[in-house]
Amino acid sequence: MFDLKPIAAAEQPIGNWWKYLLATIILAISSYFGNKFYIKYKNRPKVEQIIYKSPIEKATSLLTLLEQKELWQNGQIKSYYIELTDIVRNYIEEEIQIPAMESTTSELILSLKKVANQKKMKLSSETLSNLEKVLKQADLVKFAKVIPLEFEIEQDKKRISSSIVTIHKAIPTIAEDNDELEQWNEQRKEEARLAKIKKEKRKKIITAVSAAFIILFLTTLFFVATKGFDYVKDNLLGHPTKDLTSGEWVYSEYGNPGVRLETPKVLKRLDILKTMPKATFALIKEMETFGYGSLFDSFYTIVSTTKFKQEKEIDLNIVIDGTIKSWEATGGQNILVKQEDFSTSEGITGVKAYGTMTMLDMVQQQSQKMYYEMLVFKQDGGLQQIIIAYKENDIYGKQILERIMNSVELKKAQ
């Protein structure tokens, strides 16, 4: 017989206590610095807004600031037109005392004509027409989601700037009661006061930035430990194609016969005719190409339509082979191609090619593997082509491709 052994205590698993400890430390540090920051800055002096001497100075300054924001260049076309028209409406309201901010486009133009006659302002019909065009264009952008072309946006900005200057010059001159030199001196004093406040604020911000950096570092560490590195990289550090999926998409028509589809960005017109061999160029009657990105980027889209001078039978397989060869000429390697028939909801048939390839950037000496899909159609001797490519295994790129392909509609040749 053997002696009975005493009952041994079971080992306790480590568990997730360290995660809760880390979260507690982060919350404690955040509370400490947040409370310290609040107490230190709750009575800080408030910087007053910039004081403009006149409505025209305010309007021209705001136009300059608007261009510096580069809203429409970054796809924020609606925000750009809202700010652009608000500037001119606010100027008219302050300068001529018309309720421009609350008026519709037609009401504003009618009121402006009426006041111009009363005050004997020399406003030409061209000035009023240009102003009305931009306001109506802005209405279409805001309410009908119309996407103007780049040159149209540039023209609208010039029309607004010209309209403001023309209205200013048309206002009868009124003698100022205050001495201009005194106003200038007061403005310089105000600028000096604001500069002093800014200098003091800069010193105080250093401490706040340091605290924020510590909190950010600890927060990032917490998310890496609990969510994983990919979560932090995509959601905190950013991901190029993920940003495209969450942005405002554009549904538009390109080329002739038109190709309608939805894309995360407006496709820009490309001039590729000059790069074609003369023999090929001589056969083409009309060619329009629109694209976004390149095969060396994270995402690439291109839409092309072609009409030939003489009608001839088009072999879509030859078109696909030609595209593949053009990729090889620009650094494409190991290109795998699969093909199948494709039909749109309108009953237009074509060929779909898809596969993978490795793109070699000779300048950067880097390579990346891409997945691509290509749709080609022929109508009455014409050609329509859609190409989409993204980095292989990019889940966001796949989502974008599927959304674009599901939106494709072809306009039948007339």
pLDDT tens digits, one per residue of 75-130:
898 999 999 999 989 988 888 888 888 889 888 889 888 888 888 888 888 888 88
Q: Does the structure show a pLDDT above 50 at 211?
A: yes
Structure tokens, 251 = 């549904």
Q: Does the structure show a pLDDT above 80 at 412?
A: no
Highest mean pLDDT among 11-25, 72-86, 202-216, 268-282: 72-86
Residue type for 23, please?
Answer: A
State pLDDT tens for residues 349-383. 899 999 999 998 877 778 899 999 999 998 877 88
Sheet containing 259-263, strands listed edge to edge, beginning at the edge strand earlier in sequence: 250-254, 259-263, 409-410
Residue bearing tokens 């550090």: 237
pLDDT > 90 fraction of the chain, expressed in percent and rounded: 25
Q: Does the structure show a pLDDT above 60 at 179?
A: no
Return phi, psi of residue 134, to 5°: -65, -40
Mean pLDDT of the chain: 81
Rounded to whole angstroms, how far apart are CA atoms 172 and 254? 48
pLDDT band of 43, cuts 50, 70, 90: low
DSSP summary character for residue 411: P
Of residues 106 and 172, more confidently modeled: 106
Structure tokens, 328 = 């090889």
| 312: Cα separation from own chain's centroid | 41
Coil, helix or strand at residue 384: strand
Cα–Cα distances in angstroms (integers) from residue 248 to residues 49, 57, 157, 263, 303, in the given order: 32, 34, 22, 9, 20
**pLDDT number for residue 225:** 62
Q: Does the structure show a pLDDT above 50 at 171?
A: yes
pLDDT band of 1, cuts 50, 70, 90: very low
State pLDDT tens for residues 255-309. 988 899 999 999 999 887 666 666 666 678 888 999 999 888 889 999 999 888 8
Specify the DSSP element, H or E, that contains 241: helix 240-246
161, 245, 214, 193: which is closest to 26 by C-alpha?
214
Rounded to whole angstroms, how far apart are CA atoms 358 and 333? 5
**How would you classify residue 44: left for phi > 0, otherwise alpha for psi between -120 and 50, otherwise beta?**
beta
